Structure 1
Amino acid sequence: MSLLFWLFTWWSSPASSLLLLIVVGRELGLRVGLEVAQTAMCSRWVTTVEENNQALSQDGDVVIGGLFNLHYLPSVTDQDFTKLLCLTVLFFCRLDLKSLRYAYAMLFAVEEINRNTTLLPGVRLSYRIFDSCARHPWATQAALSLVGGDSLTCGQPVPLVIGGASSVTGKMLSRILAPLSVPLISYTSSCPCLSNRRKFPNFFRTIPSDVYQARAIARLAIHLHWTWVGAVVANNDYGHLAIQRETEGAEVCLEFTETLSRETIVRDARRAAITIQASTARVILIFSWYTDVRQLFLELVKRNVTDRQFLASEAWSTSDDILQNIALSKVASGVVGVAIRSSTITGFENYLRSLHPSHRPGDELLKEFWEKEFGCSHLSSAANRSPQTSRPPPCSGTESLWGVQNRFTDTSHLRVTYNVYLAVYAAAHALHSLLSCPNTDQRPAGNSSTCSSPHSINPAELLQHLNKVSFTTPQGEKFYFQGGDIPAKYDLVNWQTTPEGSLKLVLIGRVDGFELHLNQSAVQWSTGSNQVPVSVCSESCPPGTRMASRKGEPVCCFDCVPCGEGEISNKTGSHHCERCPSEFWSNDERTACVPRQVDFLSFNETLGITLTAAAVSGVVATSAVFVVFLHYRHTPMVRANNSELSFLLLLSLKLCFLCSLVFIGRPSLWSCRFQQAAFGISFVLCVSCLQVKTIVVLAAFRSARPGAGALMKWFGPGQQRGSVCLFTSVQIIICVIWLYVSPPVPRRDLGFKGSKVTLECAMASVVGFSLVLGYIGLLSCICLLLAFLARKLPDNFNEAKLITFSMLIFCAVWVAFVPAYISSPGKYAVAVEIFAILASSYGLLLCIFAPKCFIILLRPEKNTKKQMMGR
């Protein structure tokens, strides 16, 4: 009954009224309210704290406050109301040795600063530390006591508080202290929400935000090529943030996500263990508290699941409760995790081991620790013990911590301890900046600025200086705040099996901002080998292939598709195939680009040899006819067929056969220009000869009519030669203008798909080439028309039929040439043009000269004047 009465009295006391005043009276002059309420609450609060001896304090010029969970309840399942009153009923609480070490780190830092002659010179820094007992109401009450005036002496309020052992406590304390502009520096509150300066303008922390922790784990998984992982996370913002960051950028895929709730941890751990056992992912991310992880590992031990590689968050990556549990060593071996960065504090271990109650007679926390550690009692604590409690033997005073190994004296990895140490130094440097006065002799006239006094520090001014604090720690580390956060720095740790079968914590790397430094050779994996475990949904695609996502599956699950022609991938796991440059082509394996083979119509290939043989044969045949006509030039057959034009026609045909050879071979600047000009001029010369011959035949028979005798004088030998030259000159002019303005040039044809580059003569001006062909076509049509009109003249003297047949063949070849040339790729277009030249040349040669040679050589009896004159 007395306990319940005390609780009712406290909640109806001015202390509870003070809490209401701070929460509701934000606009009503909170500092005044604190001072009014302080006197009324002090006596009751002093009595409570002095009776329970839960404070560490030291007087000085500037006092900073500290809140630590120095005690905890051994079981949260027992909901006995009396166990919640940690500060009142101490015998239900246990001393937390780690938190006790944090508190003494603050004391050590304060004493170290007081010995420093450059930091806060002439100012003695002091402290007041209270136990929040891991209970939010007690943390609130302690913070109110600190900012409202010291509970032990009812002295001045503290301008800064170091505390907030959890993110929830940090948010609560920041909201309470924000209206007073009292800075709060937390050493373990890592919630990303606390980075919001609009909601928490007075909050600072010496531990990185969980955003960076999740990002560091994701980078570690990507660095080790773990793209297929399972996730077991706490069912709160802490765990859900990990999932969001782990899958950011879709570089890591989650096969499953299991959540753990503290209220249903046994059922959740069993479900998660079954999922892990059935999963194909070899790597499991666990982003939860160490108590939840311990329960999960117990379930995995029952199922003998020992072949998984676990990724640990900082909440359990350094947990002694799991590390020292031999039963979990098979499952927990090889754990790789992110931990709060560690550092050494010079002289801190000697400081802890030299602690002794005789040197600190007013330190009741040290006495309590001493009694628990050595099983003895001091007179002061024995006097307060109830009569029913058995009394241990009194302490002899010879006990020492030099041989003691426990969580309090372990300074091998100072993590949160170092955060507390940094928080004290950040506060000291902000105070140093605030209390450093400018040189009064050099102060400008009229400057009304005044220096702050150590005994009347304005928390709002201290908050401004804390925002700008930047210094180098005694360990040589650069420290500064980014808003309320610090730059992200973590340790990478590995749980390795010792020869005795236990697990030990080994530092294997660091995370500094966005840089990951991992000593991979020092890692002991869960498999027991030095090979990094493989955890992928699909094996990486080899060079020469690319990844193709499977429909309806995560992006980490894919098929390997070979690259297409002209594309390569020269590394493992390529997402895309790269197209080779225009001058290159992919090899057969699609792993490298090789120079394309140069392709053109050469004299060495079968097609080139065949066309060359046909051209040479045409030249030989034409030359043979020329020799026959030359030898029989005085015979009636040769003389009756205009021998001069016949010889000129044979010469032009020989040029037509020879010009086809210019198209064969590697294209060059001059060959491209010469081949088209030679082709156009030689064919115009040939057709001109045929046209003049046809005109002469028509004129000869027309002149036989009465009154038309003067017609032949216009078509004498001179006029015939002049007509041929005139017709040819037009083509020559066209070619000269074409070659001068926009001549054909050598070009690499890269558009033709394949591993070859075709060298060809590109028509820079289609108009020029069209005019050349068009002029040839015009003369051919006129010649065909004239020959057709002369087809019924007397047979023995009529050469028009032969010219008609030859021109029909000529026109048919070149009409078919146009579509064939346009549709033929690369060097085959050149072959089509050569074929057209040879076919039309052979047509003219055979149709016009073959019948005459037949008579001259095989029927000489018909090669007489009588035969030529007869009908």
Structure 2
Amino acid sequence: MKSPYLVILSLLACICTALSPNGSTIIKVGLLLYYIDGVYDWSDAIESIYLRIDQMNRENTSLIHPDAKIVPTLLNNHGQTKELIIDTLQMTQLEEIFIIGTGGSSKSIIASLILQNYNIPMCCGASTNPTLARKDLYPNFFRTIPNDNDATLSLAEYIVSNGWFKIATLNSDDDYGNGEISTFLTFAEQMNITILSRQIFETNIDYNGAVSIAKQILSSQARIVIYFGNALQYQTIVDASTKVGVYGEGFVWIGTDGLNGMVPTPSIAGTTFLFPLERDDGPVADQFDAYWKQNRLNVLNPAANLSQVNSTSSFGYFFSSCVDLMALGMDALVKANGNNVTKLALGELNSQMKVPSAFQFPDFETTTGKVVLDQNGERKGDYGIYNFQADLSFPMVSKWSNGREIQYMPYVYPGGTLVKPADAIDPTTVADYLRIVGDPLGITTVCIGILGFLMSIATIALTVVNRGKSIIKSSDINSGLVMQLCILVSWLNFGLMVNIPSKSMCTSDSFLLPITFSIYYGMMFIKNYRLYVLFTKIYQRKMFSNHMTIAVGVGISIPIIVLSLIWNFVDAPKPAVLSEGSGLYAWSCSSSSVSFQATMVSVISVYCAALLLLNLFIAFKTRNIPSKFNETKMISVSIYNSVLICLFAIATLSAPGINYRLKAAIKIIAVFCVLFFNLLSSFTYKVYLCWLDDEKGTSKGSASSKTGGSVNNDGVKKKSRDKSKVLDDAVVLMKKVGFWSEAKSRVIVAETPELVTFCNYQKLRLEDKEGVAFGAGIVWKLKGIKVFRTESLSKNHRKYIVDGDSFTITYLDTETASAWDSYFLIWTRTKNNASIATTSLKSTEN
């Protein structure tokens, strides 16, 4: 049973209101709302109804009759369904002729089902369930707030008006979220809106679950995200989406009325949500606001002490508009019945209060604007579009009214941008590339290119300046300069790696690195091959000249030049944006035919790989040819380095899942290491030795001599070798201890007591013992040697320590070993000022 105190309170309210000077005919209006401590929405709505009724009564604004006085009666059901049923039945006993309420849709359904049996119309300013629009089920119900279908339709219209036709949706897995998305999908199909991703989340979703959903949206490439859910889950989803990269610049996040009342935070700045427009901009609302501020403390209402605001707030205007429509409808009914307001008060006209016809007015202003009901008692509403700001405010930036937007201030989108994003990713605007400003990798790339370019220019200049010195003069300076120019031009490739590529940059990229690579390693191969022929072949009548070395080296690159020309003539690479998956893009150069480009790249790569392998082979074959400052070994190290780096780069760049920046970093490191080590080992070091010559006199590495050969600028020529039989006791097996050394058969020639030469030994024919000394030799020159020590390893094995080098020699027999021990005995006694000269038929530079 209803508490008798509440009934007494309601009756006292009626008596107090009746003492008002305006009107004596009581028009009873029931309120099926509730108030609970902490639930301010309904307490403010209750206060709005009481104040609006009091305003009509006191200011002679009653639209019913000058003698009429509207008297509200509130029965608090405390939000309980059972109490609501009791209160609704009690309203019929209290002879209420009109009911305003309730708070939720489910409660309005119950009240409407009861009241329709007594011909009592009911208006609501909060229930939005579309089911209540069915007049076959709820013939006495109408509302001043748009239903969910209208809100969803307006949302769809708003999306289309902005040119967004590709979206992602997020909805909570509850009655609200599922109902909203179901209706929206219907309108979306009618308006040709494509759903790129539809995600459903539990109401208790955690951060990890939100991250998973955000990744799904990211992979769909959607930029417009529509949220159908409540504020409770939204913060978690936004935090996860920000981490994934879905919430930020280039995205739009729009929520429904479920976000109303959300506490603003900096992280949700940029979110937009639609909410039915409560307050009208006209004079009716202004007058009501002024009356509210002046009289809210003077008007007796049960929820007065619970209201938290000084002006009407959430749902207040909607419920006060119910009072407006009720009054205007009753006024028309009274006038149609001879101005007999008594019949109205007694409920005799209730049968004529048809919904919605009795309350349909085409041009009537209420506190919430024009409320024009359709044939189902539904309002086509206006919507405020609210935008969360970084300063924690959420102003109404525009209004959606009758299918069009009225904008008041600029939107702020996620990421703080004012530019309206497109509905799908525009690859040209979001594609990644290396930037010169504000990009550490781009800045590093440019610096490496500039530094390498300047280093190459300095090396070329110093090479030309020192061209008259023995270190430079004894080498093939022309081919060396050509190879240095290849390195110089290759540094320009770092400039092609930054900024958005242009067509000319793409063309240059397809030529630059492959051609310089092929010319450099083509000439490297020919120079090393010339050394190989010179020092390992006995009967070689013809040798490459310096000019031929350049010609053949450049000629090796002709296939690469032809392939690059074919590529650019048939389907030239152009600037293009390539997808990396997961909504990520990057600028690149690409032909229109992917298969054609893959074929050309593969053929060019295979040719360059074959050229590099040839250099690897010839470097291995010539690694033990002695030359000034171990130059051949440095060249070998450079080629080994290039092979290893290329293998690493190819393996990593071919791996799946490598993003654009990692690929760029690998390419930068690989090209830099190859160019730097080539420049350092083949050219810069010689310039450094020239500087040592100037500073400290002749360096250790510059000492050289020739044995059995001559050199001129046109090439290398061998003298005829002595083909006399080599004595058996002169043939030894010698090995220099070190990583790059191997055992070699050599001929010992003691030219003077202070000079011993070890020359390579090779038989002319396998079936005889004739042989010659040929190629490069190692010379031990007593004069200047700092350390010379002999160690006996066995009867015919000796170990010789010559300065910092260690050599092991295997003699043919013990007698020969003893004879040479006697020869070197004086050396160990007279060691002085070390100098080990590595000699060859030619002082080589490679």
Band the TM-score falls in, shorter-chain normalisation: 0.3 to 0.5
Structure number with greater Rg is 1
When the two structures are superposed, what TM-score results if normalisation uses the length of structure 1?
Answer: 0.42
When the two structures are superposed, what TM-score results if normalisation uses the length of structure 2?
Answer: 0.44
